[in-house]
Every structure is written in C-alpha cells, then in structure tokens.
Structure 1
Amino acid sequence: MANPKVESAKNNKDSNNSQVEVRQESSQPTSTQHLIHHIPKILPHERVFPIQIGSELFKLSGASISSDAPSYFSQYFQCQIKTAEDAGEDISTAIRTLYIDRDPETFKDISLHLQGYHVQPRDATHFVRLFADAQFYSLPKLISQLYDESVYTSVGHREFQIPRELFTDPGNTPNFFSLGFAAFFSSPDDLFPGLDKEGLLRPPSIVPPAIPGRSPEIFQEILHLLRGYPVNIRNETHRAELLRDCRYFRFKGLEQRLIPHSISFNLSRRKEEIVLRLRDILKSGISISSEPTPTDPLAAWVNYGRPFVDDKPYELVLEIGDEVTRLQHSPGGAYRAEFYGDTKIRISKMFEVIATKLNLPQTTQPLGLLMTKGETNSQPATPGNTPLSEDLVKVIMDPEASVTLDGKPWSWPDDDTATIISWNAKLESGPPSSAGGGQDSPLVSNAPPLQLSASGSGANQANPRKRKRVDMAQGGTEDWIIKNGQWRLKIQSVRNGKAVIECCLVAVKLDAFSSEQARNAQRSFLG
C-alpha cells in the first residue's frame, strides 16, 4: 500500500516543477518581442561611450550604439576595448572620446535613431544630410529606412515629398529621377553607384533633386495622375503641357494614358475600336488580327494596344490631319493616297513594322524607330519601298464612310463614263451663251458634276470654267486635299504585287477640299 505522505510529496514536487516550467516559458520572449527588444551585445550595454561631433559632445550607451551595428562607432570602441583587455588596462580609463568632424545638428537626429526613436526627414536638405551621414557612419538600419522613405525634390522652386513607389511603376521606370538621381534610387548595398569608395574619407557632397525649369503646377497634376486619380484636362493646351512634362520626366505609361484617343465598341462591326493619331503610334503596340473570308483567306486588320496601359489590342482607326494627304481618283474608280513631309516617313515606317509582324521578307531599308526619321539610307522613306504598298497607297472608299467635301456632305457621284466624257467635251468647247448676254445655258448649269464635289456648291455651279478640268477619256485624275481623315488599315490579297498581300487604307471619316477656292472659303481672319 502506498504511503499517503510520499504520494503527497511527489504530487507537490510535480506541481512545483510544472510551475517552474510555466515560469520559464513565460520568461521566454515571443518571436515578435525578440525582434523588437533584442539588441545584440556588440558593446557592453551599460557602459557609456563619448562621441564628439564637431563642437558638441554626445554620450551614448553601448546598447544604443549596438542597436544599429556594425557601424563606424561600434568598430572604433570594440578596438579600444580589445586593446585595453590585451594590455590588462581598466576599460573605463582606456576608452577615449571619438572625434568626428561632421554636423552636430544632423547627428542629434541620428542619436535619436540610435536611442530607438523614428526619425522622419523634415525637408529635402534634411533628407540628404541624413542620407549622407548614415552612409558615412555605416548605419545599416538607418540607411535601409531612408532608402524606403519618400523622395524629396524641388520642381520650379516648390518642394515635393513623393512616395518612392510612384517612381518604380513598371510603365514609368526608368525615368528622369531614377536615372538622374541614381544615389537615391540604388539599393542599400550599392549606395552612390559608380563611386570608388576605397580610401574615401567622407561621402560626396550631394544636393536634393531639383528641377527649377519645370512648372510645379503641372508636376503636381502629374503626381495626382501617378497616384491613380483622374485629372480634368481643360483643353488641348493643357493636355500638351502634361504630355510635354511626361516626356521630359520619362513617364511613358502615363504619357500613353494622356495621348488623345477614343476607345468605343462599334456595334455594326461588333468590334472594339481605338482612334489614335499617326504621331502617337508606337511600333510595340501594333498587332495583326487575321479575319479570313471565303473570297480572301489572307484578309486581316491592323490592331493597336497602347503600351503599358491596354491589356488587349483594339481595331485601329488611324487619324491623319494637317492637310498632308492628297487623295487621287482615277476614271476606273481606283483611289490612291499620297502623303507629304514627316507623315510620309511615318506611314513608311509603320508599313515596315506591319510587314515585320506579317513575317514578310525585308525588301527595303532597315527597320527604324516608327516615330523618327532614322539614319540616311540609300532608299528614301516612302511606302513604295516597303513590301506592302506602292508609293501611292491604295484607298478603299467604304460606302459607309462619312465624307465632307468643301464643307458640305458628299454624295457618291454618277460613274457613267459616257456622261463624264460628254461633259468634258462641252468644257473643251466652252459653255454656249444666250442672246441676252453671257449667262450659262440650262444645259451647262444642269450638266452632271464633273468633280467629286459636294452637291449644291454654288460657287462651282455659277462658274464651271473655274472648276478643275478632268479629262477622264485621257486617264485624268481628280485630287482631293484631305484636311483630316480617319482610316482603318486592311491587309488583303493582291495579284502581281510585291508580295501576296498589301496594306490598304479604308476610309472611315474624311474632311476634304476639292480646290484651293474651297479651302480659302474656310479661312478665318486673324483677330
């Protein structure tokens, strides 16, 4: 039979052991507490170490210095302690004051950091001084903290505090700040990139990022956009200012959001479309959408998606303005477009990109940047030097196209060749006059229109001699000057061409002049 006293003593002992284990477990800090409160014992925590910065003396405990180590301070005092121990000296008398010729005002904030306080830069000057001295004193935690802090910069003499992540978006980096002020955007392990740090006595003199020649108001709106907020674009001048500074600061993704564009769903074609100006097209956004038909298995359309912005391409509607397009109409009903100046170069480069997307053999000059002239080559930049077109680009006049000619809606002309030839013959002989004195006869005034002009043009009907003469019988052509036009780009099969396919412009909306008189009529006086 067990002794009750022995059992009681055993139970008390087990209970005491359990309490000891509980107390031991409770005395162990949690992982979070360990991370917050644990300071490595690099220097004796209870000992005070004197540091003189400039003209002021600071006394910091070993715990404070060890909280951000290894550093310049910890290594200096470790060497003194080791020397004293090796020589058998008293550590209290062996430790000497560390003197550093730096700014004491900046070190006051650094000492607060070592004592466990969070130090927030007050302005751009304060930021760069903390940044430079943290590097000089080799304080790894402070360097890492400042690396994650906002960037302080001055634009147009106004200071901005900018979250660093705004400058690291994939569509907007590298940019002006990450390239021009690399010291603030490098990694903590590679501060002052490109600088030979061997034998360096002190960090280089750095100044806060400053861009005095730009508008602070426009930069404020750009920051607002980078944060994801919309900005009301007041007019085209305001848009141009935003785009100009986006290009200056190299915010490419934001630039693509700001360029004039229109995205809509065309229910008639059951497609989403994007309207863009030719000068805003980038070659990286061009793609080809194959849409074979029973009569044309190679048919396709050119699509476009804005780089860094659009997650899918849309059918491209290309806008070409500035009166740089001449549309020629031949008697057989064929239309051709001729381009001038930089527009001709851009169209040529665009056709080269499309040919590359279609894996066509390179038959012209090397592929250059779409929006630049590129280097001088033996062949001029013209659509005829691409495998997709002749010098005059083929145009398809879609019956659904909206055409305004000489300021009035244009209707499809009568293609009766005999009538047109008869009308040309009457023009050659001159209009008959009535006995009353030189007015046009009803035959002439009611004759079918020769030019592809807007119906009911009073000036042209009143004096048909001033209309541009077009001899269809001899293969003549009539020209329109396209003030502004929107076109789709269609890929279609072709026989006896440079390649098995060609690229055509399909008219969507045109605003054109048939004569200089019609153009002059729409001029306005200055003031």
Structure 2
Amino acid sequence: MASMNGKGMASHSRDEASTSRTISTEPPGILRETITTSARKMNTDIPNILPHERVFPIQIGSELFRLSGASISSDAPSYFSQFFQCQIKTAEENGDDTNNIRTLYIDRDPVTFKDISLHLQGYHVAPKDGSHFVKLFADAQFYSLPRLISQLYEESIFISIGHRDFQIPRELFSDPGNSPNYFSLGFAVFFSSPTEVFPGLSREGLLRPPSILPPSVPNRSADIFAELLHLLRGYPLHIKDEDHRAELLRDCRYFHLKGLEQKLIRHQITFNLERKRTEITLRLEDVRQSGISVVSDSTSSPPPEPGTPIFNALQFSVGYVNYARPFVDDKSHELILEIGDECTRLHLSSMRCEFFGDGKARISRLFEVIATKLNLPTGLPLGLLMKKGGASSQPASPGNTPISDDWVRCILDQEAYVRLDGKEFRNLSTLHLPEKENDGSSGSNASSVIGIDESFGEPSRKRRRVEGGSVVGGAEEKESWVVKTGQWRLRVQNSRNGKGGVECVLVAVRLDAVSGEFGRNAQRRFLGP
C-alpha cells in the first residue's frame, strides 16, 4: 500500500513537474498562437527584398555597421538593398558562395547614420534641430530611403529666426489665409519634393550630396516671431502699444501670414442699436478688396424690379458699403472708414472732400473697387481710355472713377460729432454756407443736413488772384477745414449728375479737424527732453 502510494506520489510529482515545465515556457499573460507565431516568423509587414535572416556589413566612414536583411528591406528599394541584391545575384550566376558578401563602404558621417540605422531597425527618429534635420534629409536622399524621406517631409519645420531655433508644427499654418506662407513655400523650393532628389543635380555620378545649410532668417526678431506663434496656437496676446502692433504686422506681412494679419489690424466691431446693425471701424490703409461689398438699405425705398442691373437698381435705393475681414469674419458689417494723416480738406462751401498724397491714391483705389462691385462701366469712353494708355495710366483721383468727382461729396449732419481746434463743435448753423435752392430733391427739406442737397453743385475751378499773382483758393471757397482724422460711412446713392448714375458719398460720423494754421499750431506738442 505504501509502495503504491509512493508510486502514485512519484507519478503525481512527475506530472506536476512536467506541468510546471510546460507552464514556465510561456510568460504569464501572453498567449502564443500558431497564427501569430507563423506571421512573426514570416515578417509579412516587411517586403522580401533581401533574406531577412542574413546580416549585411556596411561601413560608414570609420565605423562598421551590421544590419539584417529585414532592416534593410524595411525601407527599400534603397542604395543598400540594390547593392546587396546585385552581390547575391552575381554570386548565384557565377556559382559562388552567396555568403561571401563584400562590405559596402560609404564615406559619410557615421553619427548621422546611427540615427538612420535606428530608423531601419524600426525606431522612430525625430530631428533634434535644424542642423540635425538637414543632415538626416541629405543622407536620406543620398541613400534613397523612401520611407524616411516621406517622414521628414511630414516633420515639423525647423528654422532659425533671429539666431534662435524654432520647431514649428506644419498644422499650425493650416488656417485659411496662413498658407501658403514663407515657410511652406521656402521648404518646398529648398527641399524640392519627395520624388525629386536634389533639384538641378543629376543622380547619376553623384559622389555625395551637396552641402545644405539649415534654413534661417537672421534679420527678423525672435521675440516677435515667438509672439506670432503664440497667437497661431490660439492664445491671446497683450499688445502693449501701437509700435508693438506695427512690429507684429510687419512680420506677419514678411512671413505671408495673411489670416493672422487680419486679426491683428486695428479694428472695432460693435452693434449700433439706433441703426440696428453691426458696424466695423477700420483704417483706410487696412481695407482689402476681397472684403468689400455693397448692401442695399431696404428701408430707404421699395426694392427694384427683378432683372434690373445692380447699377440701375441703386438709382432707386440707397446702399452702404459693408466690409468683412478676409479669412476672419464670416459675415460683413457696415463699414466705418477712418481716414487720418491730415490728408483731407473739407470744403464747407460745396460740402466736398479733397484728398492729398497717399490718402488720395487709397480712396481712389477704394472707389474703383466699389464701382467694380456694382458692375459699373468705366467713366471714360473706350477709345479715349485706350488713347491715354488704359485705366492704369490715369492719375490716382476719385474723379477717374464712375462714382465720384475729384472732390468727393460728403454729408455733415447733426448726428456727427465734430471736434474743431481741440474743442467740441456743435452749432453747424454758424458755418458760412451758401443758401440752398429748393429743387424738390430728397435732401432739400432736411435743414439739419449739410451737403445732402444736389443744388450745392460742383466746386468751382476758378481761382482768384491777389497781389503777386498767387492763387489762394476757389472763388466759392469761403471756409474749409483740415480733417486730421475722420470717420465716415460710405453711402451709395442716386445721382442725377453722376457719371454712372450713382455716386459714393462720405457721411461724417466723427471728425477731428482744425480751421486753420492757428488751430493746428495750438495742438502741436514740443519734442521734450
């Protein structure tokens, strides 16, 4: 009985030992299936270009690397795979031993190749800086490694701005208006395309790739660029003053970040409860053609008949110029145009604005765009226009557009805020204006509105001369203001005397003006210590 128990116990011990040995061969928690094991042995995710189990010697510079056929085949066809394929094929054709493979020697940097060998072994290799990036890129092109080249094209942009290194994710420039930009265009030209190796150089006979310097922009501010990246990532930025804003805008234009530029320009969007519409205040120099539109004011008159051209339709209604910042605003707002730099002279006798310098050129281009939006024909006959060299040869003047004369008609009513010679000016009735003639026009009954009456006519071209024969002004010009800064609405309305049937009128919102040299000098400031 004891012997039987002993045998039974011995047999049981052998079974337990056998079971323990069987269990110990598999790590706990890992299931080894036949399908998984066979797939692992076959390496189905790596093409069978070279024998996966073979080891191939590659000497880069002074260091010898030994890579398996699986590693070399993982990024192929390449310089390495083609070299060793040729060696094996030649040995098979000559009946030689295929194990006698010559060592491939390449006179390149072994430090860079260490990262490339890690890539071939299945590790993700990320560039550390701009210098590391161009070394990896040059050698990846030279060795013809398609997967590594494609990976580097999707990597972040490495660039030095103002002697500071930046790593910029490519998706940071994916917003509308910010692409294409300086970086995407620069890298596309600098590194060609994944299918083209070193543009301008022949692949055949190329002993080594050309020297490539890391991309850099040394003449821009690193601090300003860091703030632009901060904005592109969606964070708010405190703009210290107008000089700070000008620096940000200057670099936005340099790097072609047009969407970000529109967010940074000085503007104000508010809702006007009295007019029941949103308004955007914008400076004249910041207006872009693509954001301009003309919206008819449906409350002013009945709508036009269907099929009426837009420039005829506006003869029966009043419209206002609206604006939406390109790439930023999803809807347009009524435009309040701010014109500064003391480029405007307001002639009170005719209620027209005369512009000078850059302001005249900008307001002329703006009126040309408005006329284009209205589908208005050119103001000059085609024959005369071609004889003078086309529209581009005409001097910059609102009079060369079909919606205005040289002096732009304006409206100054009691709702406009006027600051004259540094003091608030309210009593418009004290202005020395000519008597209005009641011609039955829509503005003749509005006694509180100056400049809306059609009977004010055109500014006289006559000039009176004083002693010495100098010209001092127009015969009708009794008084004028120099508008230092003015905010205006742009109203498109019917014009009986206009060249195109409609005209663009400036409606004053807020004016800061001086009545003469005394008022201007009174507001001067000393330069200080």
How does the TM-score come out when normalised to structure 1? 0.78
Cα 1:228–1:416 shift into 2, 3 Å: closer
- Say whether the 8 Å CA contact 1:365–1:377 is kept in structure 2: no
State the match for 1:177 in structure 2.
183
Residues 1:328 and 2:328 aligned together: no
Cα 1:385–1:36 shift into 2, 3 Å: farther
Any idea what SS the aligned residue of 1:399 has? coil
Quote how far apart the aligned CAs of 1:214 are: 1.1
Any idea what SS the aligned residue of 2:527 has? coil
User: Separation in 2 of the partners of 1:240 and 1:166?
Assistant: 22
State the match for 2:99 in structure 1.
92
Residues 1:146 and 2:152 aligned together: yes
Residues 1:505 and 2:506 aligned together: yes
- Say whether the 8 Å CA contact 1:182–1:192 is kept in structure 2: no
Cα 1:284–1:200 shift into 2, 3 Å: farther
- Say whether the 8 Å CA contact 2:283–2:339 is kept in structure 1: yes
Cα 1:416–1:150 shift into 2, 3 Å: closer
1:429-486, Cα deviation, whole Å (9 max, x unpaired): xxxxxxxxxxxxxxxxxxxxxxxxxxxxxxxxxxxxxxxxxxxxx8443101101100
Choose from 232, 235, 253 the match for 1:247: 253
- Say whether the 8 Å CA contact 1:337–1:393 is kept in structure 2: yes
Quote how far apart the aligned CAs of 1:131 are: 0.8
Letter aligned with residue 313 of structure 1: S
State the match for 1:82 in structure 2.
89
Choose from 305, 308, 317 the match for 1:298: 317
Cα 1:344–1:227 shift into 2, 3 Å: same
Residues 1:72 and 2:91 aligned together: no
State the match for 2:123 in structure 1.
117
Cα 1:143–1:84 shift into 2, 3 Å: same
Letter aligned with residue 77 of structure 1: F
State the match for 2:237 in structure 1.
231
State the match for 1:137 in structure 2.
143
State the match for 1:455 in structure 2.
none
State the match for 2:357 in structure 1.
341
Is there any run of 5+ residues in structure 1 with no aligned partner, and where?
1-24, 367-374, 421-473
Any idea what SS the aligned residue of 2:316 has? coil
Letter aligned with residue 118 of structure 2: L
- Say whether the 8 Å CA contact 2:348–2:433 is kept in structure 1: no
1:481-514, Cα deviation, whole Å (9 max, x unpaired): 1011000100000113211110000101001111
Cα 1:519–1:35 shift into 2, 3 Å: farther
Any idea what SS the aligned residue of 2:505 has? strand
Residues 1:311 and 2:330 aligned together: yes
Quote how far apart the aligned CAs of 1:377 are: 4.9
- Say whether the 8 Å CA contact 2:160–2:166 is kept in structure 1: yes
State the match for 2:214 in structure 1.
208
User: Separation in 1 of the partners of 2:192 and 2:278?
Assistant: 42
User: Separation in 1 of the partners of 2:92 and 2:72?
Assistant: 20
Percent identity at matched positions?
65
User: Separation in 2 of the partners of 1:281 and 1:247?
Assistant: 15
Quote how far apart the aligned CAs of 1:34 are: 12
Residues 1:385 and 2:400 aligned together: yes
User: Separation in 1 of the partners of 2:209 and 2:397?
Assistant: 55
Choose from 277, 286, 297 the match for 2:292: 286
Quote how far apart the aligned CAs of 1:364 are: 5.5
How does the TM-score come out when normalised to structure 2? 0.78
Any idea what SS the aligned residue of 2:177 has? helix
State the match for 2:8 in structure 1.
none
User: Separation in 1 of the partners of 2:413 and 2:369?
Assistant: 25
Quote how far apart the aligned CAs of 1:192 are: 4.3
Cα 1:97–1:196 shift into 2, 3 Å: closer
1:219-247, Cα deviation, whole Å (9 max, x unpaired): 11011111111111011111111111111
Letter aligned with residue 408 of structure 2: V
User: Separation in 1 of the partners of 2:328 and 2:392?
Assistant: 34
Quote how far apart the aligned CAs of 1:379 are: 2.4
Any idea what SS the aligned residue of 1:414 has? helix
Letter aligned with residue 395 of structure 1: C
Cα 1:34–1:216 shift into 2, 3 Å: farther
User: Separation in 1 of the partners of 2:375 and 2:201?
Assistant: 46
Letter aligned with residue 291 of structure 1: D
- Say whether the 8 Å CA contact 1:183–1:192 is kept in structure 2: no
User: Separation in 2 of the partners of 1:357 and 1:198?
Assistant: 56
- Say whether the 8 Å CA contact 1:167–1:177 is kept in structure 2: no
Cα 1:251–1:118 shift into 2, 3 Å: same
Choose from 52, 55, 61 the match for 1:54: 61
Any idea what SS the aligned residue of 1:111 has? helix
State the match for 2:376 in structure 1.
360
Quote how far apart the aligned CAs of 1:179 are: 2.6
Quote how far apart the aligned CAs of 1:40 are: 1.6
Cα 1:204–1:480 shift into 2, 3 Å: same
- Say whether the 8 Å CA contact 2:348–2:478 is kept in structure 1: yes
Choose from 257, 275, 282 the match for 1:269: 275
Quote how far apart the aligned CAs of 1:203 are: 2.6
- Say whether the 8 Å CA contact 1:127–1:152 is kept in structure 2: yes
- Say whether the 8 Å CA contact 2:191–2:198 is kept in structure 1: no
Residues 1:399 and 2:414 aligned together: yes
State the match for 1:103 in structure 2.
109
1:336-381, Cα deviation, whole Å (9 max, x unpaired): 0000001101111110110010000123699xxxxxxxx9954211
Cα 1:418–1:230 shift into 2, 3 Å: closer
User: Separation in 1 of the partners of 2:119 and 2:364?
Assistant: 61
- Say whether the 8 Å CA contact 2:482–2:513 is kept in structure 1: yes
Cα 1:52–1:376 shift into 2, 3 Å: farther
- Say whether the 8 Å CA contact 1:493–1:501 is kept in structure 2: yes
Letter aligned with residue 86 of structure 1: E
Any idea what SS the aligned residue of 1:118 has? coil
- Say whether the 8 Å CA contact 1:486–1:507 is kept in structure 2: yes
- Say whether the 8 Å CA contact 1:71–1:139 is kept in structure 2: yes
Quote how far apart the aligned CAs of 1:259 are: 0.8
User: Separation in 2 of the partners of 1:324 and 1:34?
Assistant: 81
Q: Over aligned residues, Cα RMSD in angstroms?
A: 2.8
Letter aligned with residue 359 of structure 1: N
Letter aligned with residue 49 of structure 1: F
Letter aligned with residue 520 of structure 2: R
- Say whether the 8 Å CA contact 1:147–1:184 is kept in structure 2: no
Letter aligned with residue 382 of structure 1: S
Is there any run of 5+ residues in structure 2 with no aligned partner, and where?
1-31, 303-314, 383-389, 436-474
Cα 1:192–1:247 shift into 2, 3 Å: farther
Any idea what SS the aligned residue of 2:429 has? coil
Cα 1:144–1:184 shift into 2, 3 Å: farther
Cα 1:480–1:203 shift into 2, 3 Å: same
User: Separation in 1 of the partners of 2:257 and 2:289?
Assistant: 18
Quote how far apart the aligned CAs of 1:55 are: 1.5
User: Separation in 2 of the partners of 1:329 and 1:36?
Assistant: 89
State the match for 2:161 in structure 1.
155
User: Separation in 2 of the partners of 1:289 and 1:193?
Assistant: 51
Quote how far apart the aligned CAs of 1:415 are: 6.8
